[in-house]
Structures are given as structure tokens and as C-alpha cells.
Amino acid sequence: MELNQKIRSYIEDNLVVFEDEAEFTDDDNIFKMGFVNSLFAMKLLNFVEKEFDITVENDEIDIKNFSSVSKIVQLVESKRN
């Protein structure tokens, strides 16, 4: 499974709205769209660190790095290089 598909799948499994109401692209801001909440942000951080075996530094813990599938992919890829 590709990186963006793993992240998208995790987000879709943790939506705060009904799945049939939640259509979003990899570039859509999932927080602004109301699909997830601030509590989910911490769960997402934990998932990213464990799933991709990376450590997100304190200065990287910013909502802009976790606001979309594409932003999360960028963060993970930057940590792998």
C-alpha cells in the first residue's frame, strides 16, 4: 500500500462524520472541513510516528503539517530522507 493510501485509510477510519458525507482529496484540509477534530490530531501524530517509524520533533508538531494527506506525506518523506 502506498504512503498516501495508508494515511488516507487511517483518516477515513477515524472520521467524525458519516463516511458517505466525507469526500476529500489528498490536498483538502481535513480539519477545516470538519471531518476530524483536535483530539484526532494527537491520534494522528501517534499513528504517523509508529506506522512509519519516525519521530516528529516538537517544532514539527504543527497543524499545517497534519492538515491534509499530502502534507502528512511530505512530512513523512522529509523524515525518511
Can you give the CATH number for the domain in which 75 is found?
1.10.1200.10
3-state helix, strand, coil in the chain (%, to 5): 60, 0, 40
Domain that holds residue 16: 3-80
**Which helix (DSSP H) or strand (DSSP E) does residue 47 occupy?**
helix 38-51
**CA-CA distance, 44 to 36, in Å (whole number)?**
10
**CA-CA distance, 72 to 61, in Å (whole number)?**
11
pLDDT at position 23 is: 85
**Is the confidence at residue 80, as pLDDT, over 90?**
no
pLDDT at position 18 is: 59
For residue 50, the SS3 value is helix
0.75 exceeded by the pTM? yes
Digit-coded pLDDT (tens) for 8-47? 999 988 886 655 667 899 999 998 988 888 888 899 999 9
The total number of structural domains that make up the chain: 1
**Is the confidence at residue 66, as pLDDT, over 70?**
yes
